[in-house]
């Protein structure tokens, strides 16, 4: 189990709320008459493990989830951060290829995968929404592959901040649920590089730290220029 460290940007007790979006999960469950069950997971608690049966599909109600793979040498590559409203665990095979953990205290709801598949075979609305979610996951995976393969450290951090700004900054301030170690493992960088790059952006007036636990973007145009 991972231990909370002093490199956190936001308190693990914060209630994480994302920018409202269409609830495709709810739409699917409604059309398919499926019962969604809610479960609570504490900080750093495993939701499912790599190679475990993929019997359920999940949605974050509140909190945040990371999905990752451990490499043979012990390094961790985080594939995605899932925030309130996000659906995860939708895979093509019979087992999960990644591990999913709660980043902070998190509530998820889940439905049986078999029920979704059966509904999709007979209901065009369910099939269309499942396709939309799958296409969104694929687009994110492609963007992440480009980020890891071709972007500099500064470009990676800028891309991450813009992504979180879009998903979290309802009031203009990003309360990030993930620690800097998580950010580093998502961006394929060291913790020191992430911290140094954030400090560089702060010194250049691109962002501010509010109480060392929240980020306020001051110059989004410059971030976009770095990212492109």
| Alpha-carbon distances of 125 from 28, 36, 88, rounded to whole Å | 7, 18, 19
Q: Which residue has the higher pLDDT, 127 or 51?
A: 51
Tens digits of residue pLDDT in 62-87: 999 999 999 988 899 999 999 988 99
Per-residue pLDDT band for 166 (boundaries 50, 70, 90) equals confident
| Closest among 177, 164, 153 to 217, alpha carbons compared | 164
So what's the pLDDT on residue 77?
96
Per-residue pLDDT band for 32 (boundaries 50, 70, 90) equals low
What is the average pLDDT score of the chain?
Answer: 84
So what's the pLDDT on residue 175?
85
What CA–CA distance (Å, rounded) separates 94 from 51? 9
Tens digits of residue pLDDT in 85-133: 899 998 888 999 999 999 999 999 998 888 888 888 888 888 888 888 8
What domains are defined for the chain?
24-149 (2.60.120.10), 152-227 (1.10.10.10)
Across the range 181-209, mean pLDDT stands at 95
Phi-psi bin for 205: left (phi > 0), alpha (psi -120 to 50), beta? Answer: left
Place of tokens 């501010």: 208
Q: What is the pTM of this model?
A: 0.84
Across the range 153-174, mean pLDDT stands at 84
So what's the pLDDT on residue 213?
64
Res. 31: pLDDT tops 50: yes
Least confident residue range of 10-19, 154-163, 185-194:
10-19
Res. 6: pLDDT tops 70: no
So what's the pLDDT on residue 185?
97
**Cβ neighbourhood burial of 131 (10 Å; 0-12, 13-18, 19+):** exposed
Q: Where are the beta strands (DSSP E) in the chain?
A: 37-41, 46-48, 56-62, 65-70, 76-82, 87-88, 99-102, 106-112, 173-174, 207-210, 214-217
So what's the pLDDT on residue 133?
83
Res. 46: pLDDT tops 90: yes
The tokens of 4 are what? 């909370």
So what's the pLDDT on residue 15?
44
């Amino acid at each position: 189990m991972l231990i909370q460290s002093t490199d956190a940007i936001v308190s693990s007790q914060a209630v994480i709320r994302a920018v409202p979006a269409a609830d495709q999960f709810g739409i699917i469950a409604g059309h398919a008459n499926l019962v969604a069950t809610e479960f609570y997971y504490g900080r750093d608690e495993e939701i499912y493990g790599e190679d475990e049966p993929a019997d359920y599909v999940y949605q974050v109600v509140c909190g945040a989830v990371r999905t990752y793979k451990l490499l043979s040498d012990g390094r961790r590559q985080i594939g995605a951060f899932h925030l309130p409203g996000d659906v995860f665990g939708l895979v093509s095979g019979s087992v999960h290829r990644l591990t999913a953990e709660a980043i902070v205290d998190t509530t998820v709801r889940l439905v049986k995968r078999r029920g979704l598949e059966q509904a999709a075979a007979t209901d065009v609305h369910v099939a269309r929404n499942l396709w939309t979610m799958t296409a969104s996951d694929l687009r994110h995976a492609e963007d992440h592959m480009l980020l890891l393969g071709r972007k500099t450290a500064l470009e990676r951090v800028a891309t991450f901040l813009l992504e979180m700004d879009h998903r979290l900054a309802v009031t203009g301030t990003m309360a990030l649920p993930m620690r800097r170690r998580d950010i580093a493992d998502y961006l394929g960088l060291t913790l020191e590089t992430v911290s140094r790059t954030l400090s560089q952006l702060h010194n250049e007036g691109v962002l501010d730290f509010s109480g060392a636990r929240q980020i306020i973007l001051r110059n989004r145009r410059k971030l976009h220029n770095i990212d492109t």
